[in-house]
Amino acid sequence: MKVSFPFALLLTGAALLAPLLVSATEYPLPAENSRLIGENSTTIVPADNRPLEAIAARYKIGLLNMLEANPGTDPWLPKAGNELIIPQQMLLPDTKREGIVVNLAELRLYYYPKGENKVIVYPVGIGQLGAMTPSMVTSISQKIPNPTWTPTENIRKRYAKEGVTLPPMVPAGPDNPMGLFAMRLAYGSGHYLIHGTNADFGIGMRVSSGCIRLRPDDIEALFSSVPKGTRVQIINQPVKYAVEPDGKRYIEVHQPLSRNEKDDPQTMPLPLTGALKRFIKSKESDSALIEAALKRRSGMPILVNLGEAVSGGETQTAEKAPQRDAAPSEKQKAGVTQAKPEKA
């Protein structure tokens, strides 16, 4: 993903929403053979001149997730009265359901509390171009309340190019870019962390120097519940898919992470694994719907056929499905519920 608009302008509007911010979304954990969680909804943009970041924060969504679901929306000033999709339905990543899983491509962190039948989902900020967050399997090696920040030499150089001279060390407190809580990862020399922020923007975006960044309320909740030694897996999975127990087949496509300024995440080639290719070519998959989903890259699960009932009857293909008599709308394909007016 690539973002061209400056973040500072979003800060003012996001601050207007501070009293309304809520923490991450908690979902009941589905059965092992199921990966679909949540439900999309819609909201109406109010006439209060708030930026899209403020609405995203209210619904615990990252900014780029909102832009994927609502292409063409002005991030500075979404048009009052317009209907926005709130993308709160998703497929769990195809990983071990343990500890923390971060999917870089979708800018989300999944936390599976040990012994609890639930998953908690947080929007995150990740490494920007030139400071990409690496994929890894590691663990939490240290929990640090009130962290200080010592910028690395590379970070200093990057800021210096922009005319900013960083101090040798930023003390703990409200002005610290790492926020009030940090958890160090055991990977490498330990310079990657999951931490908070002193800003109300940049969540659900590529803005960090490689660390995983959360909103203040979210990092406080995560910090308090994640024990030292917790497993952490970071993946880069822009395309997720699933065949649910009822036979329904879903694909969820996100914009891949750009690797340079010339990359266009909307048209970049998507990585297709052998298993994904088999899913696409299956006679039970609707190739036209899949092709459209791969092109659209909405970041939401799309039903690509009606599947087969658990009771076992004849598979109802997309060609036979009632909703294919008329072309399904974007909202129908993404399973969106009714619109709700957005409160000021």
Which of these is catalytic: 45, 203, 211, 257?
Answer: 211
Q: Any idea which fold 8-235 has?
A: L,D-transpeptidase catalytic domain-like (2.40.440)
Three-class SS state of 303:
strand
Which of these is catalytic: 195, 240, 249, 297?
Answer: 195
Virtual torsion, Cα 220, 225, 229, 234, nearest 10 deg: -70
User: What stretch of H or E contains 76?
Assistant: none
The two structure tokens encoding residue 156: 């200093």
Phi, then psi, of 4 in degrees rounded to 5: -110, -15
Residue with the two structure tokens 């995983």:
212
The pLDDT score that the predictor gives to residue 283 is 93
Phi, then psi, of 298 in degrees rounded to 5: -80, -15
Alpha-carbon span 62 to 93, nearest angstrom: 17
Contact 313, 320 (CB under 8 A): no
AA letter at 290? I
* Residue 167 among the catalytic residues: no
Alpha-carbon span 222 to 183, nearest angstrom: 10
Contact 217, 200 (CB under 8 A): no
Contact 62, 205 (CB under 8 A): yes
Beta bridge partners of 84: 43
Phi, then psi, of 233 in degrees rounded to 5: -125, 125
Which one-letter DSSP state was computed for residue 325?
G
Alpha helices in the chain (DSSP H): 8-16, 52-58, 63-69, 153-161, 216-225, 274-281, 287-296, 330-333
* Residue 211 among the catalytic residues: yes
The residues spanned by each domain of the chain are: 8-235, 239-341
Three-class SS state of 78:
coil
The pLDDT score that the predictor gives to residue 130 is 78
The pLDDT score that the predictor gives to residue 342 is 56
Alpha-carbon span 142 to 195, nearest angstrom: 12
The pLDDT score that the predictor gives to residue 168 is 85
Residue 164's CB is within 10 A of a number of other CB atoms, namely 9
Ordered per-residue pLDDT tens for the chain, 344 residues: 444 333 333 333 333 333 333 446 999 999 999 999 999 999 999 999 999 999 999 999 999 999 999 999 999 999 999 999 999 999 999 999 999 999 999 999 999 999 999 999 999 999 888 789 999 999 999 999 999 988 888 888 878 888 888 888 888 988 888 999 999 999 999 999 999 998 877 888 888 878 999 999 999 999 999 999 999 999 999 999 999 999 999 999 999 999 888 999 999 999 999 999 999 999 999 999 999 999 999 999 999 985 433 333 333 333 333 333 334 455 655 666 655 555 54
Which one-letter DSSP state was computed for residue 198?
S
Any idea what the Cα angle at residue 292 is, between residues 286 and 296, rounded to 5°? Answer: 145
